[in-house]
């Protein structure tokens, strides 16, 4: 074979090699484009699923207490955990005379009002860290002490602070309510609060659970709400004892609530005390004192203890 023929043969081989490499590159480019498209489709599907889950999550959040919702979606809630006995402060409220008022107004307007009212009250509950147990028409049940607690005293104080703000808020909303919903009279709410031990946690069947609290302390709070006057916050002696440093109370009154086998001592919250306070915090305690009658030297001495 001549040199020319050898050179031609060599060129043919090189050409075949280049042609094969070209086909391979083209094939790889096509595969890369296909993989990019698959990745794009997968990303879109993930985003769609994410939006769907977020939508479901948002809807579920409206059916659950904020604290419970956060535990569920953080994965920290143990649904198999039995109920626990805990000290709670329990709140009940309803609108005075709402049944008779609702009979004078169209059902659609009542539904709109309840949505507005419960939204306003829920915002206040969330502000003070309460757990909304349930709505029953215009009635609201809230408790403090589970699933999060700031201690018995602070839980009770948060509850009463919430109750006072609710009363103030409903008073401030009167002009808007009369105009927007054509209510024939000013609305007033009555509130009952009690502190005591309850069983709180998951109750129900293997297929459906309800997070709630049960016990005698719940019944007392509910009955106190029924005994409360229009615009009143009525608390049990258990709650009053915890909060004597923070609020002024009316003189004791004794009620005989239906379904409670013995008389109940209760007190109306007059107003929050306005005191000058100084906090002294130690490793295992926090001492709050009234400094109105103490000198600076007295305070310095206490802090040095």
Give the pLDDT band of residue 299 (cuts 50, 70, 90). low
pTM over cut 0.85: no
184 closest CA partner among 118, 95, 99, 104: 104
For the chain, the residue count is 305
For residue 158, list its beta bridge partners.
none
Instruction: Among 1.10.3720.10, 3.40.50.720, 1.20.1440.60, 3.30.70.1230, name the CATH number for the domain at 88-274.
Output: 3.30.70.1230
**How does the average pLDDT of the chain come out, rounded?**
83
pLDDT tens-digit map of 129-172: 999 999 999 999 999 999 889 999 999 999 999 999 999 999 99
Predicted confidence (pLDDT) at residue 126 exceeds the cutoff of 80: yes
| Alpha carbon distance 233, 157 (integer Å) | 13
Q: Who has greater pLDDT, 141 or 71?
A: 141
Q: Which residue has the tokens 């049944």?
A: 99
pLDDT tens-digit map of 250-267: 988 999 888 888 899 999
- pLDDT, residue 140, reads 97
CA-CA distances (angstroms) from residue 10 to 1, 74, 101, 120, 234? 12, 69, 102, 88, 104
Q: Who has greater pLDDT, 257 or 80?
A: 257
- Beta-carbon neighbour count of residue 22 at 10 Å? 10
CA-CA distances (angstroms) from residue 209 to 63, 79, 87, 298? 13, 8, 22, 56
| Alpha carbon distance 60, 139 (integer Å) | 21
């Amino acid at each position: 074979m001549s040199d020319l023929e050898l050179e031609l043969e060599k060129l043919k081989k090189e050409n075949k090699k280049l042609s094969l490499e070209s086909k391979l590159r083209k094939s790889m480019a096509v595969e890369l484009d296909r993989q990019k498209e698959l990745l794009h489709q997968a990303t879109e599907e993930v985003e769609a699923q994410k939006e769907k889950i977020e939508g479901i999550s948002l809807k579920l959040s409206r059916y659950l207490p904020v604290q419970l919702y956060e535990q569920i979606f953080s994965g920290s809630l143990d649904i198999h955990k039995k109920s626990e006995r805990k000290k709670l402060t329990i709140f009940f409220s309803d609108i005075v005379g709402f049944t008779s008022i609702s009979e004078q107004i169209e059902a659609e307007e009542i539904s709109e009002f309840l949505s507005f009212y419960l939204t306003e009250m829920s915002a206040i509950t969330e502000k003070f860290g309460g757990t909304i147990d349930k709505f029953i028409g215009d009635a609201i049940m809230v408790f403090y002490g589970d699933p999060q607690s700031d201690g018995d005293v602070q839980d009770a104080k948060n509850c009463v602070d919430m109750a006072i703000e609710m009363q103030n808020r409903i008073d401030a909303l009167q002009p808007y309510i009369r105009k927007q919903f054509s209510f024939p009279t000013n609305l007033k709410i009555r509130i009952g609060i009690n502190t005591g031990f309850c069983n709180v946690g998951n109750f129900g069947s293997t297929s459906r659970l309800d997070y709630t609290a049960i016990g005698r302390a719940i019944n007392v709070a509910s009955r106190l709400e029924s005994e409360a006057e229009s615009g009143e916050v009525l608390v049990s002696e258990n709650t009053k004892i915890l909060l004597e440093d923070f609020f002024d109370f009316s003189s004791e009154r004794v009620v005989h609530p239906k379904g409670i086998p013995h008389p109940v001592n209760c007190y109306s919250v007059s107003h929050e005390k306005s005191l000058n306070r100084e906090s002294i915090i130690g490793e295992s305690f926090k001492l709050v004192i009234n400094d109105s009658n103490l000198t600076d030297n007295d305070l310095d001495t206490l802090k040095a203890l």
